[in-house]
Structure 1
Amino acid sequence: MFSQRIDGLRPSPIRSILNVIERPGMVSFAGGLPATDALPSWSGAVPPALLQYGRSEGEPELRAAVSDSLRALGVDAPPERVMILSGSQQGIDLTAKLFVDPGTTVAVEYPTYLAALQVLRFYGAEFADIATSALERVPLGYVVPTFANPTGACMSETERDRLAETCLRTGTAVFEDDPYRELAYEPCDRTPIVARMVGGTWIYQGSFSKTFAPGLRLGYLAASEDLFEHLVAIKQATDLHSSRLSQRIVFDAITDPGWPARLAGLVSFYRSRRDAFEGSLRRHFDGLATWDTPPGGLFYWLRLQRPIDTRTLLADAIENRVAFMPGEEFSPGQPDIGTMRLNFSHASADDTERGLRTLARILARAS
């Protein structure tokens, strides 16, 4: 009755966990939710034209604004090769539809973004480690090089150069997912890998969810000339176009003279939350886990001193009003036992202290 793809479809564990975070008193370290206090307020009249159908590629003014920002980073992204997405998750889906058949190998980081794995598996992808694979006969490489999800790591200049050179040599298309680049708390090379891909095949994707408002469901991509029209055609067959009203709201925000100050304030706000989270981790997780302080983004990646499958602890944590993401879910292959991803952006300092104290108690009991 259903397509063969449905046999391998699994519900997203992140979405399942997020269903419980609105329970009274729940502290969530699970999803990559921005702080509610950091979200903008907006009001205004809606021009009638924005309620009409629009272009699949997106509103010209917003595409031009995105183009300007990407070209300032060295990316070959004129406005005619910029597309507005209905959330960056759509960009992953469009790319998978373009490249992946059952059995297609996709090179990814180990671990990598859970929702990307979900989409790629849905279309039948198999996985190789992009750090160790020679990339011969690998059509697509997916990376989150800047403040990676889930690890928070940032690729060095040497690592970015090496990956770009390898993909240019092998003809592997690079899909660079870059939603966190603005949230930098420490120095890190954030020059896009695709800026090093002159003459190569690439897709670069960003999002307005982490710096503005995730509920608007708006992202963007740019692509090399050989890919862009194919991606537009796939989007036309998917949703026709992204919300024109959302696009107007975002355009007004990012072209406002106060936008740079908003970004600077957001970085300061999240740096403070990261630092508070670090302090609570040191108080409660010393001896239970190891971690690196993330130089940007929204996540801590913890490795437990004892390799407990953290999926077995989730029900107990939720019962005690704490949500987190088991690290095992981010593995492209065999689960990496004894890891967890913790979001530091959403919970207040008081909730963080209470939540980490509770989570540490659960881990200690399981150990």
Structure 2
Amino acid sequence: MADTGLASERPLRSASFRWFLGGQSISLLGSAMSPVALAFAVLEATGSAAWLAAVTTAALVPMVAALLLGGGVADRHRRDSVLRLTSVGAGLTQAGVACVLLTHQHPAFLLPLCAFSGVFQGLTKPALRGIVANLAAGRGIQRASSLLASVRNTTKIIGPTTAGLLTASVGGGWAIAADAVSFLLAAVCFARMSLPDRPQRTADDPTMLGALREGWGYFSSQPWIWAVTLAFAVNNGFNLGVWQILGPVVANGTIGARGWGLVLSARGAGALLASVVMVKLTVRRPMGPALASMSLAAVPLILLGAGADTLWLAAASFVAGVATEFFTVVWETVNTTHIPERLLSRVGAHDEFWSFVPIPVSQLSTPFLAAAFGTASVAVLGGATAAVAMLLPLLVPALRRIEIHRQGE
């Protein structure tokens, strides 16, 4: 790799990191528009929360299923190559989704396209979890994670609001089309990266199945990892899965696509603030504060069930964004510094797989639970359960003792 040395401690001096940052910026801007545009386009076409749950789950189930395979692929092949291929695939599938929406075809045609999109997402996520270790080292790891988080969160401010305006004016299909273009442009950026080749495999190297078993063995032997994963499984099932379905449904009859876009953008603004602060801030033992703050991420769902207006929802989403991003930067830094680089993508894949599994179940069951028990009850109880779940990993002593060393230590 040509750009090493100071680049490892100062990521922006690395040409490869700059191309990666640029590709992620473009891709994430499009992806930040997609959920709002797709949700309201489906609701406009069908008027059904069940259809929205079906379309959302059609992408999520294949994504979850592909995560473990993606972890094995990303640890065995160059991660920049994986990102190029998955970005092209995602761009083509999103172009298909845009065509279905723009030509007003039956929403059933969205299901296979969303499934393919989910597969590409599942192959992408593990590569993203491990690539920072290829681009930065030492104190540069948290700097790189924070810079990436700042970009991610800037797009979360711009994307949902833009999608809400586009959806309300010309239709959600054009926002999805922009997402398709963003994936293809990101692939061009990733092609300019230069990562070292993976070590040549020998006859003694494990097979793909053996490599996946090795990743599971490490993951399952580390209570500090799987305790957090289990907490997020509960949080995602009772909070995220419910929010993604009930949020657009409630907003469709109250604050509309523009209001919902504003609420999501407020969350992005809070996350951006946290990521900027985390470029400089280092907490020696960060997992306690990070998990405690994550309990605040469930407050917007509770307020949604309580019938809060746009202002209160936006304020709570801002706080939730701060808390979530603080945790995300801490967790990425802790993983990158405490897990061997050769296992990062496989362990990260297990982390995401087991924490994501409850989401499709939650999304499919939420419309029926809301019909049986009421939207307010499902939202308030789900949010409260998620908040408590994020505090339980603090009972693991090894987790509380994990340290992030300052530069020079």
TM-score normalised by structure 2 residue count: 0.27
Structure 1 or 2: larger strand share?
A: 1
